[in-house]
Amino acid sequence: MFRLAATALQKKLQESRAQRWIAVALSLAASPVGGAALAQDASMPGPQSGISNKMTRAAIQKKSRPATLPRSSRSQQPVHLSASEALAQTANAFAAKRDSAGLVAKNRTQQKVESFAKFEGLREKGMWLSIPGPADTIDQDYGGVRSALAEVGIGYIGGTVNTFVANQLPNAARSTIRDQLYAGQNPTFNTLNFMIATYDLSRFGIPDGQIIVGAQQQYWTWKPGGPDRAGINTIAYYQTLFGGKLELEMGYLRNINEFVGTVVGGNAAVNVFGASSNILYQAGMSNNAAPTPALNLKYNFDERFYNRTSIQRSLSPDGQFAHITENPTGLDWSTANSGVLFLDEAGYKNKAAPGLPETWLRVGAGFNNSSYTDLRYPAQPRANANSIYYVAADRQLWQSDLQGSAARGIYAGFSVMYAPPDLNRVSQYYELRLYAKGLLRQPSTRPDCPRCHQHCVEQRCSGCCHG
């Protein structure tokens, strides 16, 4: 009896081994036609694709089951997959892993963008000049200092500009000019440092309300370029009225940042040393080194058309050097012979958008009742009738990043300024400009940037914009 039982058990084991070898042979036989089967699955539904989908769903369901299921509820039968089924399952698993990584990257980027978005309302308001935001500064939010200040409504921005200019002509280094006439004729160094703080008044129900306080220090080795000073560069109050239609700003203002758009092309050298700023300063327009009391009103007809008006205490009619020498702190109400400058600018400005290039047109005039010296008759009594006129335009010619920042690209523009030659040493100014913004490719900070997102997912980046 024991011999019969042993013989039956041996026969059953042989049959089981034979079945396993048959299953292996069938699996190997399916491999040469795996590519054709996969192509058929991709082109149309069939029995094979149905099996693949069933197996994928079974795998997902199995993965989602609790780990504490009793062993008796699990299938004890081995599952044999064809090559096409194995490839489909692997592809699905990779896609799920990629989507999961993409979601994590997107969430990290969104958190980074939102962490700096809370500072936007604390940036200085009222200017046409766009100063870099907190995300583009060196300190950003190091140690949480900026966040802590933002909690109580305080924002800040600081900067330093340092310039060295030297004459590179032959033998220039062997001698110096006793009476230097311009920056760089002798080696010339200057430094300018500033800090501006804002306080948010909208928390008290004042629409876009803001208090702005700033200080500035500058030093020149060639004193007529400056001169040296340490004082304010602004003390201002800003708010909007009538749902944003009217913008009001008053205090010690720098109208060079609110009218004309002198540095729209980023050519700071022209506006520091050249005639563009000189002709405006001659007319009495206030600036960073020489703020003056003013009341500014801007009326927005719609999102593009505007008119801006200012009643401003003029700079000294004897020039910026005389003004800063007499009033280095900038706190004095007026200087000798200075009167009132009336400014008005009408303009059209649309911001860049995908497929919509940026355009800015403006025309303006200023009238000053300060006591100016008549250059034709310097010994005669001073005259009280200076003026300035200007027209300028800038247009975006090409957008280099439609999916990211539409403002990036190539621009062109021109400026024309005029002032009476009998009262102004520089009476005419003409400029043609061609410039670019953001042509160098950089990681996007947009969470929906497909190019950067896909790159980060594929390369598994740990230090770019997607974390």
Residue 136: inside a domain? yes
Residue 35: inside a domain? no
Residue 414: inside a domain? yes
CB 271, CB 277: distance < 8 Å: yes
Residue bearing tokens 């194995």: 86
Residue 439: inside a domain? yes
Task: For residues 414 and 357, give the distance between their C-alpha atoms in angstroms, rounded to a whole number.
Answer: 17
Task: For residues 120 and 16, give the distance between their C-alpha atoms in angstroms, rounded to a whole number.
Answer: 73
**Packed helices 83-117 and 47-64: angle between N→C axes, nearest 10 degrees:** 50
The total of structural domains in the chain comes to 1
CB 327, CB 333: distance < 8 Å: no
Cα-Cα-Cα-Cα torsion 72, 77, 82, 83, nearest 10 degrees, comes to 60
CB 203, CB 154: distance < 8 Å: no
DSSP secondary structure letters along 214-261: EEEEEEESSGGG---EEEEEEEEEEEEETTTTEEEEEEEE-GGGTSTT
* Domain of 383, in residue numbers: 114-456
**Amino acid code (one letter) for 105:** A
The residues, any chain, with a CB within 8 Å of residue 6's CB and separated by 6 or more, are none
Strands 305-313 and 292-300: antiparallel
Cα-Cα-Cα-Cα torsion 401, 352, 260, 298, nearest 10 degrees, comes to -150
Residue bearing tokens 């602004």: 234
Q: Which of 390, 414, 306 is nearest to 350 (CA)?
A: 306
Question: DSSP H helical segments within 283-370, as ranges?
Answer: 320-326
**Packed helices 83-117 and 34-43: angle between N→C axes, nearest 10 degrees:** 50
Residue 180: inside a domain? yes
Residue 79: inside a domain? no
Residue bearing tokens 């690209």: 409
DSSP secondary structure letters along 404-462: S-TT-EEEEEEEEEE--TTT-S--EEEEEEEEEES-S------TT-HHHHHHHHHHT-S
CB 276, CB 385: distance < 8 Å: no
Question: DSSP H helical segments within 233-375, as ranges?
Answer: 268-273, 275-282, 320-326
Taking residue 81's Cβ as centre, other Cβ atoms within 10 Å add up to 16
Residue 95: inside a domain? no
Each residue's pLDDT, cut to its tens digit, for the chain (467 residues) gives 444 444 554 555 455 555 554 544 444 444 444 444 333 443 344 444 444 444 445 444 544 454 444 444 444 555 555 656 666 666 666 556 555 555 554 455 455 556 778 888 889 998 887 777 888 888 888 889 999 999 999 999 999 999 999 888 877 766 677 888 888 888 899 999 999 999 999 999 999 999 999 999 999 999 888 889 999 999 999 999 999 999 999 999 999 999 998 877 554 433 344 556 789 999 999 999 999 999 999 999 999 999 999 999 999 999 999 999 999 999 999 999 999 999 999 999 999 999 899 999 999 999 999 999 999 998 899 988 899 999 999 999 999 888 778 889 999 999 999 999 999 999 999 999 999 988 887 654 444 555 555 544 444 444 444 43
Q: How many CA atoms lie within 13 A of 209 on its CB side?
A: 9
CB 224, CB 260: distance < 8 Å: no
CB 162, CB 272: distance < 8 Å: no
Taking residue 29's Cβ as centre, other Cβ atoms within 10 Å add up to 10
State how far the alpha carbon of 388 is from the alpha carbons of 319, 346, 363, in Å: 15, 15, 11
pLDDT number for residue 202: 94
State how far the alpha carbon of 452 is from the alpha carbons of 102, 401, 402, 422, 456, in Å: 11, 12, 14, 58, 6
Q: Which of 288, 345, 293, 344 is nearest to 314 (CA)?
A: 293
Task: For residues 194 and 288, give the distance between their C-alpha atoms in angstroms, rounded to a whole number.
Answer: 9
Q: What is the CATH number of the domain that holds 370?
A: 2.40.160.180
State how far the alpha carbon of 215 is from the alpha carbons of 136, 138, 209, 234, 237, in Å: 21, 19, 21, 7, 16
pLDDT number for residue 26: 45
Q: Which of 281, 249, 214, 275 is nearest to 128 (CA)?
A: 249
pTM for the whole structure: 0.69
Residue bearing tokens 């007499």: 326
DSSP secondary structure letters along 106-151: HHHHHHHHHHHHTTGGGS--S-SS----GGGSSSTTGGGHHHHHHH
Could you list the beta-strand ranges (E) of 287-339: 292-300, 305-313
Q: Which pair of tokens denotes residue 432? A: 């043609």
Residue 373: inside a domain? yes
Task: For residues 183 and 397, give the distance between their C-alpha atoms in angstroms, rounded to a whole number.
Answer: 34
**Amino acid code (one letter) for 61:** Q
